[in-house]
Structure 1
Amino acid sequence: MKKLLIFSVFLLVNTLVFGQKSDEILGKWLNKDKEAHLQIYKKGNKYFGKLSWLKEPNDEEGKPKRDSKNPSEELRGRPILGLEILKDFTFNNGVWQDGTIYDPKSGKTYSCKMTLEGKNRLNVRGYIGISLLGRTEVFTRVD
């Protein structure tokens, strides 16, 4: 009985500590060009992110910008604001990994991983194939 109690306490503490660490990524982030806010949220055990603010949300005609570069013709009419661009990330040992990032400027989707530096700096690395063949952008937390 005593072993079961100790194990239960260990499991609870472990879940609380690692659960909180994995959720440190949640919130709003400003991209490096200061053109967009990315809202990162959790669905089940996975992490996602959508565009929640754009510096220039409308095109030259005053209409909301659309996902015009999307390779799928039926998706080209959807608005960029509110678009889910981060998908299916899992947390493992300080890294949010195995997800994808969609770039609405090019219409391309890349493999992606993310790491935190402190509480206010998010390194987002998009890549093709292996992580060495990619680019990292730094996002800053929006208060």
Structure 2
Amino acid sequence: MKYLFFLMLVTTISPSVFSQNKDAILGKWINSSGEAHIEITKRSDKYFGKIVWLKEPKDAKGNVKTDVNNPNAALRSKQILGLEILKDFEFSGDKWTDGKIYDPKSGKTYSCNMSLKSNGDLNMRGYVGISLIGRSETWKKVK
């Protein structure tokens, strides 16, 4: 009887204890270089992120930084501050997958997956084609 009770208890609590909270990534994160804060939000069942703070919001000439490297010439005048750089992530098991990350420094967009490390940091993996060919960086939660 003790074993049956234990089995029922473990079965009841295990999904909440062992699965990742799908909204755990919501909030503000600082990128690995410390140059920007990105706020991750949720729309419907997908996750998005936009730049909400820049260490240096103006260029060397004192002009507001714009998306000058965007491959779409019509978007090059958009300000970097407020730019959506994370799009369409879906929560799956213990990570956020099938999203895109845009790098305003290069003007390139990459496939991306995100996962939380045990210390609460956000692991970002941008790639072209398959995840093995890519680059990872770690973002920290803004306090």
TM-score normalised per structure 1: 0.85
Offset at 1:111?
0.2
State the match for 1:6 in structure 2.
Answer: none
Percent identity, please.
56
CA distance in 2, matches of 1:95, 1:115: 5
State the match for 1:56 in structure 2.
Answer: 56
> Is structure 2 residue 88 aligned with structure 1 residue 88?
yes
SS in 1 for 2:24: helix
Q: 1:24 touches 1:119 (CA, 8 Å); kept in 2?
A: no
TM-score normalised per structure 2: 0.85
Aligned length: 131
Structure 1 stretches of at least 4 aligned residues deviating more than 2 Å after TM superposition: 13-20
Distance 1:76 1:118, change over 3 A: same
Q: Tell me which moved more, 110-119 or 92-101.
A: 110-119
Offset at 1:118?
3.0
Q: 1:58 touches 1:65 (CA, 8 Å); kept in 2?
A: yes
- Specify the code of the residue in structure 1 equivalent to 2:89: F
State the match for 2:6 in structure 1.
Answer: none
- Specify the code of the residue in structure 2 equivalent to 1:95: K
- Specify the code of the residue in structure 1 equivalent to 2:67: D
- Specify the code of the residue in structure 2 equivalent to 1:130: I
SS in 2 for 1:74: helix
Q: Tell me which moved more, 114-123 or 45-54.
A: 114-123
State the match for 1:21 in structure 2.
Answer: 21
Offset at 1:60?
1.6
Q: 1:36 touches 1:55 (CA, 8 Å); kept in 2?
A: yes
> Is structure 2 residue 105 aligned with structure 1 residue 105?
yes
Offset at 1:64?
1.0
Q: 2:19 touches 2:94 (CA, 8 Å); kept in 1?
A: no
Matches within 5 A, 1:1-143: 21-118=21-118, 120-143=120-143
- Specify the code of the residue in structure 2 equivalent to 1:132: L
CA RMSD of aligned residues (A): 2.1
Offset at 1:61?
2.1
SS in 1 for 2:22: helix
**Which protein is richer in helix relative to its size?**
1
- Specify the code of the residue in structure 2 equivalent to 1:75: L
Structure 2, unaligned stretches of length 5 or more? 1-12
SS in 1 for 2:60: coil
SS in 2 for 1:132: coil
Structure 1, unaligned stretches of length 5 or more? 1-12
